[in-house]
Amino acid sequence: MQRQQYLQEFIAHTNRNLFLTGKAGTGKTTLLHRIRKHTYKNCVIAAPTGIAALNAGGVTLHSLLQLPLGAFIPDSLAQLPETQSQLFVTPRDFRRHIHLQERKIRLIQAMELLVIDEVSMLRADTLDLVDLLLRSVRRSPLPFGGVQVLFIGDMLQLPPVVKPHEWQVLSQYYPSLFFFHAHVLQKYPP
C-alpha cells in the first residue's frame, strides 16, 4: 500500500512519464483505478485494443485520438511509392489523415495525464504518432505535448502486432516494434 501511495503522490506532484510493470495479478489495474479515482489531474485512460480498453475502463488510442490505421513512418523525407501512400503515414502528411472533432481537440488540450494500459501491445510507430499528434494539437514542443504519460503493462504478455509488409518498411526506422523503441522514448525515457 505504501508503494501505491508513493506512486500516486509522484504522479500528482510531477509531470514525469512513468512505466509501471509487474506480473499478472500484481495489482496494476487496481492501481490504475485508484489513480483515476484520486488524481486531481484531467486523466484519460486508453489502451491499444478494445478488450484492453474495456478492462481498464477507457477507450482505444485509435478512438481517442482518431488515429489512422496505417503504419507511421517517423521520417518527414520518406518517399513512398504511390501504391503505398495509403498504407503509411509520415510527419509530413499526418494532418490529412487525422480529422479530429472539436470536442476531441478540447479533450486533448485539457488532458494532463494519459494512462496507457496493456502497453506491451502498443507499437513504437503508433506511440511516435501519438507524440506527434499531441504536440500538434496542444501546440507544444514538449514530449507528448506536455501531457504526462503513465505506461502500464507486463512486457511478458502479448507483443505488438504488425503485418509483414509494414514491418518490411518500419524495420528501417525501429529495432523492434515494442513501445520502448519509439523515438520519443529513446530521446525522453520515462
pLDDT confidence of residue 83 = 65
Reported residue count of the chain is: 190
pLDDT confidence of residue 35 = 87
Say what the pTM is: 0.93
d(CA 14, CA 22): 22
Q: What is the pLDDT of residues 102-157, one digit of tens each?
A: 999 999 999 999 999 999 999 999 999 999 999 999 999 999 999 999 999 999 88
State whether the Cα torsion 125-28-60-104 is positive or negative: negative
Q: Hey, where are the domains in the chain?
A: 2-187
- In a 10 Å sphere around its CB, with 0-12 CB exposed, 13-18 middle and 19+ buried, how is residue 27 labelled? middle
pLDDT confidence of residue 1 = 62
Cell numbers 494519459: residue? 114
d(CA 152, CA 57): 14
β-bridge mates for residue 71, sequence order: 88
Could you list the mean pLDDT of each consecutive 10-residue stretch along the chain, which spans 190 residues? 82 93 83 86 94 89 92 87 75 83 96 97 98 97 98 92 93 97 96
Distance of CA 66 to the CA centre of its chain: 12
Distance of CA 133 to the CA centre of its chain: 10
Helix (H, G, I), strand (E, B) or coil at 142: coil
And the C-alpha cell for 150?
A: 503513465
pLDDT confidence of residue 133 = 97
CATH top class, domain 2-187: alpha beta
pLDDT confidence of residue 160 = 95
